[in-house]
Amino acid sequence: MARMKLSQIRTYWTDQAGVHGAKPQASWSDFRVMEMECRELCKYINDGDKVLDVGCANGYTTMHVAAQKNVRIHGVDYIPRMIASAKKGLRAHKAFAARVSFSVGDIMKLKFPAGNFDTVMVVRVVINLGTWTRQLHAMRECLRVLKPGGLLLLSEATLQGWRRLNLLRVEWGLPTIPVPSFNTYLDQKKVATALRGHADLLDIANYASTYFVGTRVLKPLLIKALSLNADPSDPGMEWNRLFSLAPSIGDYGTQKIFIFRKKR
Ligand SMILES: C[S@@+](CC[C@H](N)C(=O)[O-])C[C@H]1O[C@@H](n2cnc3c(N)ncnc32)[C@H](O)[C@@H]1O
């Protein structure tokens, strides 16, 4: 499948904002993974932190974190429509609205001084930047605005997770899942060493491996074997909820969270 140009990727996200408004589907159809991702991210965020959420879309994750943790959190996204949806959605959350803010901004040139945040989270954004050169620049830019000792939480799709999931699918007669045309998945090995000298990689959380096996391998196989009239990609099914609650084993999840600590 032909890769989208940067201008087409921008149009894609503008359209997503227009179609889905404040719904989680503006950023991804699989809201179950997003729930799991939020749970995992919250493990690394402390009450009192000043947090930046880069590429926040309509603020789904930003607001989830604000509901779970007593943090001040600012979300930026380069699509004005996404930020408009985020601001509108925030009005419904009186309990934490005063601690949350949003603005339009580009990950390639963040408008914050160096060392400004305790935690910077980047959730499925770097995969939209087209080339490794741009991806590396974006990661460095996020690290720049982080305080020394602060955490960079990079939740992205990896080539390694995607390949391993497809190996399992092919073994069981299922076709491979393609990389979406607007995405450039990250090479885990490159990411692990990308910030060397400036940040330490503390962990890579394979939080969604069991879920991906359950929903991208077992589910389509069962639907086919039992000739069920069910949509394998429907995240609203109990099956998906069950696997989203299961402990994660293995490295079959396309999505992973890289946890970096900026050097002091
Ligand atoms: C998968 S969505 C992000 C989801 C969001 N972080 C969440 O947790 O719901 C990807 C987002 O990245 C944004 N994005 C892509 N390139 C960007 C850039 N250069 N600067 C800022 N945001 C960008 C898109 O507009 C889109 O909203």
Q: Is 219 part of a structural domain of the chain?
A: no
Query: Rounded to the nearest whole angstrom, what is the distance from the C-alpha of residue 118 to the centroid of ligand 1?
Result: 20
Q: Is 137 part of a structural domain of the chain?
A: yes
In which domain, by residue range, is 87 found?
6-157+179-209+252-262
Q: Is 183 part of a structural domain of the chain?
A: yes
Q: Is 17 part of a structural domain of the chain?
A: yes
Query: Rounded to the nearest whole angstrom, what is the distance from the C-alpha of residue 77 to the centroid of ligand 1?
Result: 6
Q: pLDDT value at position 104?
A: 98
pLDDT tens sequence across 178-196: 999 999 999 999 999 999 9
Q: pLDDT value at position 56?
A: 98
Q: Is 172 part of a structural domain of the chain?
A: no
CA dihedral (34, 50, 99, 107) positive or negative? negative
56 ligand 1 Cβ < 6 A:
yes
Candidate from 5, 28, 77 with most ligand 1 atoms within 8 A of CB, to mutate: 77
Q: Is 196 part of a structural domain of the chain?
A: yes
108 ligand 1 Cβ < 6 A:
yes
Q: pLDDT value at position 152?
A: 98
CATH number of 30's domain: 3.40.50.150
Structural domain count of the chain: 1
Q: Is 109 part of a structural domain of the chain?
A: yes
Helix (H) or strand (E) holding 20: helix 6-20
Q: pLDDT value at position 45?
A: 98
How far lies 212's CA from each of 29, 126, 141, 173, in Å? Answer: 14, 21, 31, 16
Q: pLDDT value at position 2?
A: 86
pLDDT tens sequence across 28-75: 999 999 999 999 999 999 999 999 999 999 999 999 999 999 999 999
Evaluate if pTM is beyond 0.85: yes
Quote the CA–CA distance of 206 and 250 in Å, as a whole number: 7
Q: Mean pLDDT, consecutive 10-residue segments, the chain of 264 residues?
A: 92 97 93 97 98 98 98 98 97 97 98 98 98 98 98 98 98 98 97 96 97 98 97 97 97 96 98
Count of beta carbons in the 10 Å neighbourhood of residue 88: 13
Q: Is 36 part of a structural domain of the chain?
A: yes
Could you identify the atom of ligand 1 that is nearest to the CA of residue 24?
A: 9
What DSSP string describes 125-188?
-GGGSSSHHHHHHHHHHHHHTEEEEEEEEEEEEBHHHHHHHHHHHHHTTPPPPPPPTT---B-H
What DSSP string describes 94-134?
TTTGGGEEEEE-BTTB-SS-TT-EEEEEEES-GGGSSSHHH
Assess contact for 117 and 54: CB atoms under 8 A.
no
Quote the CA–CA distance of 58 and 224 in Å, as a whole number: 35
Strand, helix or coil for residue 31: helix
Amino acid sitting at position 112: F
